């Protein structure tokens, strides 16, 4: 079992490398934005990009997945039909948005003088949609280096252009969207060789209905999943103001540490549990993976909670802190958002039983429950708690999704998770947080830092004392580490 778990950890690192590099590069935009944009301006950026994220689901309408399902990289016609379909719909939708920019800006509560960023957004989404099928082709033909290289180059170019348009040639909010538009165009140029090799001037009218029948049912699930992630910003904007959204967005992004961990785990977990499904004792392995994931994620959550004030105050360039002090008022939401992503990781663990039971329809129900919890919680909590209400709604949404999927999964593919050990982990985490609340928030910098470091180290010690890790496991883990 431990050899299998070690392999999972190795695959997590391999599969997640490009994702980690991309997210770390993208994270560099956070200090740039907080030092060059006011909270109000950053709030406008965050809100519009939330709408872009939701609209991207409609632009793609699952056509890239349909292409992979029906093509397999064999027939050039299979490539051309989905591409021409996306080209037609993207041009049509973006054309409407372009000519209706002013009323759409008013609907999104974007200042009238910034309606041109709605036009930029329209063509950003169109260009992104046109790159979907070429990217899918790279995946189908097993060219991960090209795929990852273009993705990372996309992010690096976007960062460079943001720096130019915010620092060298200051353009404010418009500079952010102009940078994204140029980056989207450059990315399309980078995937153009795929179009050159595969695209033909033909449209398979018999295939297209099949593609649509496969793709369109993916839209509700895609919209629901995206709404769980971003719907809090537009609601927060309508119930508060742009400045609150800007502060919220900056601190929400600090949940990147847990986001990267969950994404890396997800990339390796799906092939891992599918490959192990026919092996004897696989359910015991799944249960153990859940336990170890919760241990690692809890330790990370505790570290973020204890040290996030120190992290944002780090001086990175020219004596400036990582995040501008005008955004520090939202630091309290970071632990809440991080805990929400921990439960998202639990949800990812629970993909195994529903997938192996061939009941992936349950995922749509669980996500729908998450959306309902998110929307209801946002409208209920934001008027009372402001941005903390929005963060709490995110936590409740992921908690609801995990709980719903757990209850449904146990009926179709029972897995005996290690509930006693999971309970001990939760209790140890609660004790560490209680100790921090009582004694760890010292005003003396060195004393407070030392105490928080001690609290972080006490968490694994508590796990050992309560028997979460037994002697046999420790011996196995030590042996694996030694062989490595």
Q: How far apart are the two ends of the chain, measured CA to CA in Å?
A: 16
Containing domain of residue 142, as a range? 62-215
The whole-number pLDDT of residue 471 equals 61
The whole-number pLDDT of residue 188 equals 97
Residue pair 46/30 in contact (Cβ under 8 Å)? The answer is no
Any domain includes 205? yes
Any domain includes 98? yes
The whole-number pLDDT of residue 447 equals 64
The whole-number pLDDT of residue 358 equals 83
Any domain includes 107? yes
The whole-number pLDDT of residue 275 equals 76
The whole-number pLDDT of residue 11 equals 45
Distance CA 146, CA 154 (A): 12
Number of domains within the chain: 1
Q: Residue 476 has which token pair?
A: 């196995």
460 CB-near residues (< 8 Å, 6+ apart): 299
The whole-number pLDDT of residue 271 equals 74
The whole-number pLDDT of residue 15 equals 43
The whole-number pLDDT of residue 14 equals 43
Angle formed by the axes of helices 39-60 and 29-36, to 10°?
A: 140
Stated pTM of the model: 0.90
Angle 287-292-298 from CA coordinates, rounded to 5°: 125
Cα dist. 162→213, 254, 277, 466 in Å?
Answer: 40, 19, 46, 50
The whole-number pLDDT of residue 6 equals 58
The whole-number pLDDT of residue 361 equals 81
Q: Is 134 exposed, middle or buried (0-12, 13-18, 19+ CB in 10 A)?
A: buried
The whole-number pLDDT of residue 355 equals 86
Q: Among residues 223, 243, 225, which one has the least CA distance to residue 233?
A: 243
User: In order along the chain (484 residues), what is the average pLDDT of each group of 10 residues?
Assistant: 56 57 85 97 98 95 82 63 93 97 96 96 97 86 79 93 97 98 97 88 84 84 91 97 98 93 83 79 91 95 94 85 96 97 96 87 91 97 98 98 95 93 94 85 65 90 80 64 54
The whole-number pLDDT of residue 267 equals 73
Residue pair 137/198 in contact (Cβ under 8 Å)? The answer is yes
Distance CA 5, CA 479 (A): 13
Q: Among residues 117, 124, 115, 116, which one has the least CA distance to residue 59?
A: 124
Question: Among the residues of 28-115, which ranges form H helices?
Answer: 29-36, 39-60, 63-70, 76-99, 101-107
Distance CA 398, CA 396 (A): 6
The whole-number pLDDT of residue 467 equals 75
């Amino acid at each position: 079992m431990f050899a299998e778990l070690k392999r999972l950890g190795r695959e997590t690192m391999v599969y997640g490398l490009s994702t980690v590099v991309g997210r770390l590069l993208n994270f560099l935009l956070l200090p740039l934005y907080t030092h060059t944009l006011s909270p109000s301006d950053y709030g406008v950026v965050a809100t519009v990009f939330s709408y872009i994220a939701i609209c991207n689901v409609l632009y793609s309408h699952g056509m890239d997945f349909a292409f992979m399902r029906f093509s397999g990289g064999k027939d050039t016609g299979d490539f051309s039909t989905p591409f021409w379909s996306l080209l037609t719909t993207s041009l049509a939708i973006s054309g409407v948005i372009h000519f209706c920019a002013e009323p759409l800006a008013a609907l999104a509560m974007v200042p009238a003088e910034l309606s041109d960023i709605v036009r930029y957004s329209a063509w950003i989404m169109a260009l992104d949609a046109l790159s979907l099928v070429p990217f899918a082709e790279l995946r189908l033909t097993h060219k991960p280096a090209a795929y990852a290289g273009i993705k990372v180059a996309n992010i690096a170019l976007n960062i460079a252009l943001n720096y130019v348009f915010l620092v060298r040639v200051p353009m404010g909010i418009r500079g952010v969207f102009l940078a994204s538009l140029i980056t989207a165009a450059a990315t399309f140029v980078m995937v153009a060789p795929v179009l050159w090799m595969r695209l033909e001037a033909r449209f398979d009218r018999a295939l297209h209905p099949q593609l649509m029948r496969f793709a369109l049912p993916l839209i509700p699930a895609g919209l629901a999943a995206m709404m769980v992630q971003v719907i809090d910003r537009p609601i927060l904007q309508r119930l508060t103001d742009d400045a609150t959204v800007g502060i919220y967005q900056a601190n929400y992004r600090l949940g990147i540490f847990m986001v990267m961990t969950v994404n890396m785990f997800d990339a390796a977990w799906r092939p891992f549990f599918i490959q192990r499904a026919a092996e004897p004792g696989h359910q015991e392995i799944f249960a153990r993976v859940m336990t170890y994931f919760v241990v690692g994620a809890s330790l990370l959550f505790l570290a973020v909670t204890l040290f996030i004030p120190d992290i944002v105050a780090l001086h990175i360039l020219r004596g400036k802190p990582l995040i501008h002090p005008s955004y520090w008022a939202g630091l309290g939401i970071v632990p809440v958002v991080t805990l929400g992503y921990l439960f998202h990781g639990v949800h990812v663990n629970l993909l195994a039983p529903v997938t192996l039971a061939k009941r992936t329809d349950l995922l749509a129900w669980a996500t729908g429950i998450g959306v309902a919890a998110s929307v209801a919680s946002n409208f209920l909590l934001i008027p009372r708690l402001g941005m903390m209400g929005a963060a709490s709604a995110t936590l409740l949404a992921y908690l609801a999704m995990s709980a719903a999927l757990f209850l449904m999964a146990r009926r179709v593919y029972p897995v005996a998770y290690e509930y006693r050990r999971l309970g001990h982990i939760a209790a140890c985490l609660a004790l560490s947080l209680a100790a921090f609340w009582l004694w760890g928030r010292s005003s003396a910098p060195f004393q407070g830092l030392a105490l928080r470091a001690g609290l972080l180290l006490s968490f694994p010690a508590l796990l050992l004392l309560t028997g979460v890790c037994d002697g046999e496991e420790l011996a196995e883990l030590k042996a694996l580490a030694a062989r490595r």
